[in-house]
């Protein structure tokens, strides 16, 4: 379900829906013409009425008021706002299970605000980099970390329509950040990530290596001019790579590889280990049209590995299983998807994913953790990086646009972006970076 559909759980942010931010702040008088027109539109969908009532109750309870007319007093009484802000921190602390002093709760809520800002900065820095001036957040909203202040901005006609929308957007993103933080504390994800790294260093990588020791090599690849898929790849030392003069259609890709030992063989492996940052998890919740991290974010711990060939991949799977047993844990592989073998088609379920993306993907359950593993050969990794309609940068553009997230966060009537045109231009932008 798209985040832009009428039944989306993010209806309150939709500029095409009944909760759209208007040119002027909502007139609280119940018999005004604006209020009458709004109520008429709201009654077109009973689901919207239920959502409105729930949202109104939450706002009233959070602000400590009983009618919209009382908002004006809060807007003009700093002392009263301060009292309500302290009460709000207590309510938020209990809702998100934050223990500690009022200051500690305030610091945690401010972290949620910073995560909300980082979501926008991450898009501005990559997916929408050429459009930074279009989507830049209003200074006053970026500086606001107090949820009470942000709610009041939504009803304050001194603020421009864009600023009032950004206040609402920031509150929504802060709520998602709070849910993610609560989930991470409940699942002890930071400790599990540390334990996973410890498992790899103690049981998986070669004991001849120091922790963090890496061997740099280059993949010298030749690419088809039609779709830039890899037709041949050779592993070169840095000295050999220095002597290469690259013609069009060829690339050098640096990999810093570890080793694992199986029998008498030392097998090289490139590994990228990730723990999704909060802003990436917020974007994933939006793409999945979910507010519950336990449902939408199932890949908090992840490892991507690249090996020379399929035989080495099978050896790595065998080595992982033995390493888990040596660490006194059974390792079970779940949700296995193997499309590395010839004539097997990958059937991606994510919006924007390509059916041309071969990989071995599974979840490994061991030591109280569930880790997502994505494994490539050198050739499929280069396709994942560079091939048309497959390259990860293209995939990121497609999924963030096609899921409706860009339009939800940066609606056309406020940010003046032509989303389809921007999508096409960003794909061309990344293709040019890849092929040049």
309-321 average pLDDT score: 94
- For residues 118 and 137, give the distance between their C-alpha atoms in angstroms, rounded to a whole number: 11
pLDDT surpasses 90 at 386: yes
Higher pLDDT, 15 or 176: 176
Q: Would you say 73 and 80 are in contact if contact means Cβ atoms under 8 Å apart? A: yes
Side-chain-side CA neighbours of 291 within 13 Å: the count stands at 10
143 is a domain residue: yes
**Cα-based distances in Å from 221 to 134, 179, 249, 251, 278:** 38, 43, 8, 5, 35
431 is a domain residue: no
Residue 179 contacts by C-beta under 8 Å, 6 or more apart in sequence? 96, 285, 291, 292, 293
- For residues 276 and 292, give the distance between their C-alpha atoms in angstroms, rounded to a whole number: 16
Based on the fold, state whether residues 71 and 22 are members of the same structural domain. Answer: yes
6 is a domain residue: no
Higher pLDDT, 405 or 274: 405
- For residues 288 and 180, give the distance between their C-alpha atoms in angstroms, rounded to a whole number: 14
pLDDT band of residue 343 (cuts 50, 70, 90) is very low
Based on the fold, state whether residues 158 and 273 are members of the same structural domain. Answer: no
Per the structure, the count of domains in the chain is 2
289-302 average pLDDT score: 82
pLDDT band of residue 20 (cuts 50, 70, 90) is confident
- For residues 436 and 431, give the distance between their C-alpha atoms in angstroms, rounded to a whole number: 8
- For residues 372 and 183, give the distance between their C-alpha atoms in angstroms, rounded to a whole number: 18
- For residues 205 and 323, give the distance between their C-alpha atoms in angstroms, rounded to a whole number: 9
pTM of the model: 0.89
393 is a domain residue: yes
Tell me, what's the pLDDT at 346?
41
Tell me, what's the pLDDT at 30?
61
Based on the fold, state whether residues 167 and 262 are members of the same structural domain. Answer: no
Based on the fold, state whether residues 67 and 117 are members of the same structural domain. Answer: yes
Based on the fold, state whether residues 242 and 281 are members of the same structural domain. Answer: yes
Higher pLDDT, 226 or 46: 226
pLDDT band of residue 332 (cuts 50, 70, 90) is very high
Tell me, what's the pLDDT at 29?
62
Grouping H, G, I as helix, E, B as strand and the rest as coil, residue 172 is: helix
- For residues 404 and 409, give the distance between their C-alpha atoms in angstroms, rounded to a whole number: 9
Least confident piece of the model among 43-47, 135-139, 154-158, 187-191: 43-47
420 is a domain residue: no
Tell me, what's the pLDDT at 31?
64
pLDDT surpasses 60 at 345: no
Q: What is the mean pLDDT of the chain?
A: 90
User: b vs e for 34-52, b when ≥16 Cβ sit within 10 Å of the residue's Cβ?
Assistant: eeeebeeebeeeeebeebb
Based on the fold, state whether residues 336 and 390 are members of the same structural domain. Answer: yes
Rg of the chain taking only CA atoms, in angstroms: 25
Q: Would you say 347 and 355 are in contact if contact means Cβ atoms under 8 Å apart? A: yes
Based on the fold, state whether residues 202 and 348 are members of the same structural domain. Answer: yes
Give CA 39 to chain center in angstroms: 35
**Quick one: tokens of 289?**
């049209």
Tell me, what's the pLDDT at 347?
46
pLDDT band of residue 340 (cuts 50, 70, 90) is confident
Based on the fold, state whether residues 90 and 226 are members of the same structural domain. Answer: no
pLDDT surpasses 90 at 23: no
423 is a domain residue: no
386-400 average pLDDT score: 93
From 129, 160, 187, the end of a domain falls on: 187
Based on the fold, state whether residues 163 and 40 are members of the same structural domain. Answer: yes
From 187, 215, 231, the end of a domain falls on: 187
Q: What is the pLDDT of residues 121-173, one digit of tens each?
A: 999 999 999 999 999 999 999 999 999 999 999 999 999 999 999 999 999 99
pLDDT surpasses 90 at 412: yes
Q: Which domain, by its residues, includes 399?
A: 189-403
Q: Where are the strands (E) in 136-249, listed by range?
A: 215-223, 230-236
Based on the fold, state whether residues 59 and 87 are members of the same structural domain. Answer: yes
426 is a domain residue: no
From 144, 171, 187, the end of a domain falls on: 187
21-40 average pLDDT score: 72
pLDDT surpasses 50 at 405: yes
Side-chain-side CA neighbours of 34 within 13 Å: the count stands at 9
- For residues 401 and 389, give the distance between their C-alpha atoms in angstroms, rounded to a whole number: 15
Based on the fold, state whether residues 150 and 123 are members of the same structural domain. Answer: yes
Instruction: Look at strands 215-223 and 230-236 and give their pairing.
Output: antiparallel
**Quick one: tokens of 388?**
């048309």
pLDDT surpasses 60 at 350: no
263-286 average pLDDT score: 92
- For residues 6 and 45, give the distance between their C-alpha atoms in angstroms, rounded to a whole number: 9
pLDDT band of residue 52 (cuts 50, 70, 90) is confident
429 is a domain residue: no
Tell me, what's the pLDDT at 183?
92
Based on the fold, state whether residues 148 and 201 are members of the same structural domain. Answer: no
């Amino acid at each position: 379900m798209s985040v832009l559909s009428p039944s989306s759980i993010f209806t309150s942010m939709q500029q095409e829906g009944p909760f759209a931010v208007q040119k002027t702040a909502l007139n609280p008088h119940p018999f005004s013409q604006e209020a009458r027109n709004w109520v008429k539109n709201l009654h077109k969908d009973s689901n919207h009425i239920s959502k409105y009532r729930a949202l109104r109750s939450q706002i009233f309870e959070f602000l400590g008021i009983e009618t919209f007319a009382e908002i004006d007093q809060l807007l003009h009484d700093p002392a009263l706002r301060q009292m309500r802000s302290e009460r709000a921190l207590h309510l938020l602390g209990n809702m998100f299970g934050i223990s500690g002093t009022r200051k500690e709760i305030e610091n945690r809520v401010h972290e949620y605000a910073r995560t909300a800002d980082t979501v926008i900065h991450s898009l501005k820095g990559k997916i929408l980099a050429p459009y930074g001036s279009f989507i830049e957040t209003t200074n006053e909203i970026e500086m606001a970390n107090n949820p009470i202040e942000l709610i009041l901005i939504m009803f304050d006609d001194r603020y421009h329509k864009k600023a009032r929308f950004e206040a609402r957007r920031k509150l929504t993103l802060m709520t998602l950040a709070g849910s993610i933080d609560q989930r991470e504390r409940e699942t002890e994800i930071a400790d599990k990530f540390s334990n996973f790294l410890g498992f790899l260093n103690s049981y998986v990588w070669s004991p001849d290596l120091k922790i963090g020791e890496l061997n740099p090599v280059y993949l010298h690849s030749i690419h088809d001019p039609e779709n830039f898929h890899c037709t041949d790849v050779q592993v070169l030392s840095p000295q050999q790579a220095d002597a290469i003069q690259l013609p069009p259609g060829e690339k050098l890709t640096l990999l810093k590889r570890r080793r694992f030992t199986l029998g008498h063989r030392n097998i090289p492996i490139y590994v990228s280990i990730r723990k999704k940052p909060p802003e990436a998890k917020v974007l994933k919740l939006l793409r999945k049209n979910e507010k519950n991290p336990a449902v939408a974010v199932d890949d908090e711990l992840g490892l991507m590995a690249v090996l020379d060939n399929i035989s080495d991949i099978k050896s790595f799977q065998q080595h992982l299983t033995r390493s888990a047993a040596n660490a006194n844990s059974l390792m079970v592989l779940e949700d296995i998807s193997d499309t590395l073998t010839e004539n097997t088609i990958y059937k991606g379920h994510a919006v924007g994913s390509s059916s041309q993306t071969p990989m071995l993907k599974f979840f490994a359950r061991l030591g109280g953790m569930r880790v997502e593993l994505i494994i490539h050969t050198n050739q499929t990794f280069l396709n994942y990086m560079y091939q048309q309609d497959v390259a990860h940068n293209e995939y990121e553009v497609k999924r963030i646009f096609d899921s409706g997230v860009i339009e939800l966060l940066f609606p056309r009537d406020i940010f003046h972006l032509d989303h389809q045109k921007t999508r096409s231009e960003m794909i061309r932008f990344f293709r040019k970076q890849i092929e040049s």
